[in-house]
């Protein structure tokens, strides 16, 4: 009798309402983690603005909508943010443990755990190099940027303040680059950064091995799991077969740029990109040509229409695919300039606060996560979008407010569609 009562109680706990409320509780925790990550990355930012930005990011439609459903997206984002935050605090063992949990929730998180580990290695080496043989006031020039402390960069901005008890000098995640006119003749960019990482990494190999061995253990365990399971996924392996879906990385760029439109599709942003291209010609134009050619090849040869995408008309991607991309044979090619612009804008914004090798790691992690996925699913873009927004260091309140209005508008429309436009299929009861 007692056993039956316990079973009944467990059944009540697993009711639809209770299970759906789990993500609502997790969403509150996610907001706190977003705030903590913002303040850890940019400690000179005052608390009111950090809270303001955290609230807006919490309204991100692809995250917000799933707080009302019982699915893994919210939990996956929370554990990733916790893992990222612990790595910023240099608590690598705890970060690796959280990475293992993130992988258990969603297997592709192994790539984002590897990204966090790699960027932590980059930060540690940059930190060591910056303090090696330099005075406290000296700057380290890398590529075409001079790394300075946020204290120097933000002191003139009334929206920022110094925080007591936080070191802003010895943490590379708190470094904000500033472009210099002389740096182009001093270093040759990405190749020099890679060389610096390799050389200094070799000198610090034992320190790095000790600090980051927990990540290697998780990675080895994941490789063993894939060998045992025969696939990276636990569910329907046939439906999630690895495919060369290179167009997916283009869809991510435009979707992310659209959701953060005030940061990308403005006159000052277009002028800034044009000036950057003109300043670094002809290499920038060669890069633009290569990116455009690669994008054209991707949409022509590697645009995959997954059966789930074509069969399920309850999702926005179905209508975007049918009414936009497939509206005419030429549309997918006409969208290429927008894809390229979106990626160029993302890279340019990140490049103002991050080293080239960090931006390259971000692009590669996004590509390795998204390209093998044959299904066009905007949920897959959540983690790379949050990484971009947390590291973009754009503190124009008006743009954040406009983005918040955009998020609220999309959320209200989606909720209205979900509640008041139900589907009725004749073959379904």
- Tallying the residues shown for the chain, one arrives at 429
Q: What percent of the chain has pLDDT over 70?
A: 81
Task: Please list the residues that pair with 45 across neighbouring strands.
Answer: 160
Predicted pLDDT of residue 20: 75
* pLDDT single digits (tens) 68-93: 877 888 999 999 999 999 999 999 99
Whether the full predicted model's pTM is greater than 0.85, yes or no, is no
Give Cβ neighbours of residue 263 (< 8 Å, ≥ 6 apart): 269, 345, 349, 392, 394, 399, 403
Confidence of residue 169 (pLDDT cuts 50, 70, 90): very low
Confidence of residue 10 (pLDDT cuts 50, 70, 90): low
Helix (H) or strand (E) holding 222: helix 205-229
The span from the first CA to the last CA of the chain, in angstroms, equals 37
Q: What percent of the chain has pLDDT over 90?
A: 45
Closest C-alpha among 133, 145, 206 to residue 178: 145
Confidence of residue 425 (pLDDT cuts 50, 70, 90): low
CA-based R_g, the chain, Å: 23
Distance of alpha carbon 258 from alpha carbon 338, whole angstroms: 10
Q: Is the Cβ–Cβ distance between 126 and 172 less than 8 Å? A: yes
* pLDDT single digits (tens) 16-56: 778 778 888 888 999 999 999 999 999 888 999 999 999 99
Name the least confident of 211-220, 271-280, 356-365: 271-280
């Amino acid at each position: 009798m007692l056993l039956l009562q316990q079973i009944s109680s467990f059944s009540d706990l697993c009711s639809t309402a209770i299970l759906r409320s789990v993500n609502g509780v997790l969403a509150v925790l996610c907001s706190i983690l977003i705030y903590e990550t913002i303040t850890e990355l940019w400690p000179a930012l005052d608390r009111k603005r950090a809270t303001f930005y955290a609230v807006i990011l919490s309204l991100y439609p692809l995250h917000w909508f799933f707080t009302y459903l019982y699915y893994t997206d919210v939990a996956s984002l929370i554990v990733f943010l916790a893992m990222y935050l612990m790595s910023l605090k240099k608590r690598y063992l705890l970060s690796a443990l959280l990475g293992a949990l993130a992988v258990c929730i969603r297997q592709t998180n192994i790539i984002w755990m590897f990204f966090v580990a790699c960027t932590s290695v980059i930060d540690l080496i940059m930190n060591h190099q910056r303090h090696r043989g330099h005075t406290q006031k000296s700057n380290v020039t890398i590529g075409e940027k001079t790394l300075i402390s946020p204290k120097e960069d933000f002191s003139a901005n009334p929206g920022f303040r110094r925080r007591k008890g936080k070191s802003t000098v010895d943490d590379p995640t708190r470094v904000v680059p500033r472009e210099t006119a002389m740096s182009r003749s001093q270093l040759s960019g990405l190749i020099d950064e890679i060389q610096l990482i390799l050389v200094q990494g070799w000198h610090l190999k034992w320190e790095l091995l000790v600090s980051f061995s927990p990540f290697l253990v998780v990675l080895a365990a994941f490789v063993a799991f894939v060998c045992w399971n025969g696939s990276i996924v636990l569910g329907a392996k046939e439906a999630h077969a690895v495919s060369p879906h290179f167009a997916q990385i283009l869809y991510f760029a435009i979707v992310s740029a659209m959701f953060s439109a005030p940061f990308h599709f403005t006159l000052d942003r277009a002028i800034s990109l044009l000036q950057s291209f003109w300043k670094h010609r002809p290499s920038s134009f060669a890069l633009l040509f290569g990116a455009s050619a690669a994008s054209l090849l991707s949409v022509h040869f590697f645009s995959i229409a997954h059966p789930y995408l074509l069969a399920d008309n309850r999702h926005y991607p179905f209508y975007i695919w049918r009414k936009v991309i497939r509206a005419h044979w030429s549309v997918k090619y006409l969208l290429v300039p927008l894809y390229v612009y979106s990626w160029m804008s993302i890279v340019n914004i990140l490049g103002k606060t991050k080293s080239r090798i960090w931006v390259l790691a971000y692009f590669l992690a996004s590509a390795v996560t998204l390209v093998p996925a044959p299904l066009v699913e905007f949920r897959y873009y959540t983690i790379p979008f949050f990484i971009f927004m947390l590291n973009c260091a754009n503190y124009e309140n008006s743009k954040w407010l406009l983005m918040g209005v955009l998020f609220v508008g999309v959320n209200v429309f989606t909720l209205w569609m979900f509640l008041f436009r139900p589907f009725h299929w004749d073959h379904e009861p």
